[in-house]
Amino acid sequence: MRASLSKTRSHVGFNMTPMIDVVFLLIIFFLLSSHLAQRENRIDVDLPQATSGEEDLPSTQPRVTVTVLEDGSVLLAGRPVQLAALPNALRARQDQVGERIELRIRSDRRVPYAIIEPILSGAAEAEIWNVTFAVLERGR
């Protein structure tokens, strides 16, 4: 007499727990990163109007925002930073990310170029070559 093979075999399934853990971690990461990006843009700055330029296209590079307020104070990713410490802070952010970053400068329209120039020099010193300026479209 033959023994039935179906009784001796057990069904082996996939363990879904690690995959669910990874999915939840990704969801949390994207929620936090989008929240931080929105926080940077909430700082009220009277942006200059553009006379020419291109629309901001989505980039694969991580972006860091430097905001210059009307009083000349500088914020890096929403936190105050001294101009002298900016190159090291940018370099540290680039090392933290592990790849080249894009620098976006949001400056109040009344800020003189004498305050913007050290930011550009600091970006060059930190070897950041992709720098953009946030502006308003003409007519807004």
pLDDT score of 3: 56
d(CA 17, CA 38): 32
The DSSP code for 77 is T
pLDDT top residue among 59 and 107: 107
96, part of any domain: yes
CATH label of the domain that carries residue 81:
3.30.420.270
The crossing angle, in degrees rounded to 10, of helices 86-97 and 113-125 is 40
77 assigned to some structural domain? yes
Name the more confident of 56 and 104: 104
Name residue 67's beta-bridge partners: 75, 106
pLDDT digits (tens, 9 = 90+) for 84-136: 898 999 999 888 888 888 888 888 888 898 989 999 999 999 888 888 888 78
Number of domains composing the chain: 1
Q: Specify if 14 maps to a domain.
A: no
Range of the structural domain that residue 51 is part of: 45-133
CA nearest to 138, candidates 57, 51, 80: 51
Query: Number of C-alpha atoms within 13 angstroms, CB side, residue 116?
Result: 16
Q: Looking at the predicted structure, is the pLDDT value of residue 18 above 60?
A: yes
Distance CA 26, CA 113 (A): 41
- 22, part of any domain: no
Query: CA 137, CA 92: separation in Å to the nearest integer?
Result: 33
For the chain, how big is the Rg over CA atoms in Å? 24
Q: Is 35 among the domain residues? A: no
The amino acid occupying position 40 is E
